[in-house]
Copies of this chain bind each other. A is one copy, B any other.
Amino acid sequence: MLRHVVLFKFKDGTSPEKIKEVEEAFASLPGKIKEIKKFEWGTNVSIENRSEGFTHCFVVSFANEEDRKIYLDHPDHKAFGNVLGGSLDKVLVVDYWNVH
């Protein structure tokens, strides 16, 4: 599986309602984009104080690079970008092959 790890840090002052909207919009993508083979997410509960302000972690899994490409270009993925609407302070993305 090709894991797509996405971290979000919202801008200070982002309302809980907006954050919930973003969470729900992201979590709706697996129902819309069949190339998503697995999806999970959660909010940071680390006790190590090394999260660099990131509060949300989403992990989207694909079978291959082609499916990742379809996801990235998908209209529903782009519509999700519009939901974000400038609410993010930082985004970090790391993908890796779970082959080890």
A95 touches B4 (CB 8 A): no
* B92 A57 Cβ-Cβ under 8 A: no
Q: In the assembly, how many copies of this chain are there? A: 2
Given known A57-B3, A57-B5, contact A50–B92 (CB-CB < 8 A): yes
Main SS of the interface on chain A? Answer: strand
- Some 27 contacts from A to B, beta carbons below 8 A apart, are A3-B40, A3-B42, A3-B59, A4-B46, A5-B5, A7-B92, A40-B100, A41-B100, A42-B96, A42-B97, A42-B99, A43-B96, A45-B95, A45-B97, A46-B93, A46-B94, A46-B95, A47-B72, A48-B72, A48-B93, A50-B91, A50-B92, A51-B92, A51-B93, A52-B92, A54-B92, A57-B94
